[in-house]
Structure 1
Amino acid sequence: MTPDPRIDAYIAKSAEFAWPILRHLRAAVHAACLEAEETVKWGMPSFTYRGKILCSMAAFKQHASFGFWQGAQVTGNGTEAEGEGMGQFGKLTRLSDLPGKRELTGYVRQAMALIDSGAQRVPTGAATPRAPLEVPDDLAAALKKDAKARATFDGFAPSYRRDYIEWITEAKREDTRQRRLKQTVEWLAEGKSRNWKYMKC
């Protein structure tokens, strides 16, 4: 396993309560899956197995989260814990919030088996499909002028693109909209999601 320095940096910038949680999860995934590779997906530390997303973790201001890409099949729970991005284990604030070593190892190996079998991800039962938002003209024009920002935006999951679109279109004043538009392009050029601050603090 080759550690990804971006994950080291992510953990270091997280709130202190999250350090032992993130480090424990990182070690547990590698112990259970020797082929796991580290990367960053959608601004979050993630682990892949044979080129497929296995699981990911994140730290917010007051909690951390952990979830498997094929969570419903891995844990047998058809829904995510309450709250967007909570994975399958809810809001984690201490190590004791996590499953025990044997249970967590079992989940990782189940996720590996699903990837090996070619199983497709099943959407969570709680998720209600939302129609993609149309990219407003001013944002589309701004993205055309910045290749890095456009590449990040195009590579984001629909929910991440929606975050930026709604932030811009919900501005009540034109000057506010223009400031948000400029900030959006800057953050996208840096590879950041709309809520990146909350994911690193």
Structure 2
Amino acid sequence: MTAAAKPEATTADASRDPRIDAYIERAAEFAQPLLRQLRDGVHAAHPGISETIKWGMPHFMYGGRILANMAAFKAHATFGFWQGEAVAATGKAGEAMGQFGRLTGPKDLPSAARLKAMVRQATALIDAGAPPRRNRRSAEPKPPAAAPDFFREALARHPAAQATFEGFPPSQQREYIEWLAEAKQAATRERRLAQALQWLAEGKRRHWKYVNC
């Protein structure tokens, strides 16, 4: 009696970065299938695409350049091409990161065929040496974010945190301001404020956990 044949060992897909698997697993439950569908669709469109983590977010690379990126937040996910509206003229640029607005469910995703066409257009632009194009709306500088009174008063009582905050560029200041402003309940706001002051006193930006992941 012959022994049953053992299944052949499979090698890991070199185009996929295990850090992105971990990123997706950490994402909110609603976002996980969205990120997986986008990821699979991008890779299905072109065999030469690889992955990495930049600025704490998953990025898709092609020809040594950034092709697209995706991210998950507490209540929405995002996806966008670095060629901007030259690839994805959705009319939603500026609503969130990328060109597809706030992704909260499958209905917000482009179809498989459309995603494939956009990915191939983006790779063709990179092959042609086209520089990245910023979206018209995102190219407009945002006005400086105004810190709410309770945050300014708290910073005044914590010199170390205030020094860090004032040393940040406007984009990093905005990360803290918007996070605090999104708190709907007083208890949530107080918890976030205490956490913000601690991180700032330690010299940390809002999304410090994902930097250099």
Q: Give the alignment's TM-score, normalised by structure 1.
A: 0.68
Q: Which amino acid aligns with 1:100?
A: S
Letter paired with 2:34 = I
RMSD between superposed Cα atoms in Å: 3.6
1:54-91 CA-to-partner distances (Å, cap 9, x unmatched) read 011111111111110112110235x6534341x11111
Q: Which residue is equivalent to 1:172?
A: none
Q: How many residues align?
A: 169
Task: Please state whether the residue corresponding to 1:90 is helix, strand or coil.
Answer: coil
Q: Which of 171, 174, 192 matches 1:163?
A: 171
CA distance in 1, matches of 2:74, 2:197: 28
**1:166 Cα deviation (Å)?**
5.6
Q: 1:185 to 1:90 in 2, by over 3 A?
A: closer
Q: Is the 8 A contact 2:48 2:62 kept in 1?
A: yes
Cα deviation for residue 186 of structure 1 reads: 7.8
- After TM superposition, give the deviation of residue 96 of structure 1 in Å: 2.4
Change (3 A) 1:99 1:188: closer
2:82 aligns with one of 61, 65, 69: 69
CA distance in 2, matches of 1:122, 1:180: 34
Question: Which structure has the bigger radius of gyration?
Answer: 2
Gaps of 5+ in 2: 1-12, 145-162, 178-193
Q: 1:99 to 1:130 in 2, by over 3 A?
A: closer
Counterpart residue identity of residue 111, structure 2: G
Please, which moves more after superposition, 37-46 or 184-193?
184-193
Q: Provide the rounded CA distance (Å) in 2 between the counterparts of 1:192 and 1:101.
A: 31
Equivalents in 1 of 2:32, 2:176: separation in Å? 33
Partner of 2:202: 183
Q: Give the residue type in structure 1 aligned to 2:89.
A: G
Q: Summarize the Cα distance change of 1:182–1:113 in structure 2 as closer, same or farther, 3 Å threshold.
A: same
**Partner in structure 1 of residue 141 of structure 2:** 129
Which of 107, 118, 129 aligns to 2:118? It is 107
Deviation at 1:107, TM superposition (A): 0.3
TM-score, normalised via structure 2 length: 0.65
Percent sequence identity over aligned pairs: 45
Please name the residue that 1:83 is paired with. 95
Please name the residue that 1:97 is paired with: 108
Q: Is the 8 A contact 2:78 2:100 kept in 1?
A: yes
Higher relative contact order, structure no. (Cα contacts within 8 Å, ≥ 6 residues apart) = 1
- Greater fraction helix: 1
The amino acid of 1:83's aligned partner reads: E
Unmatched runs of 5 consecutive residues or more in structure 1? 133-137, 143-152, 154-160, 170-175, 194-201
Residue in structure 2 matched with residue 26 of structure 1 by the alignment: 39
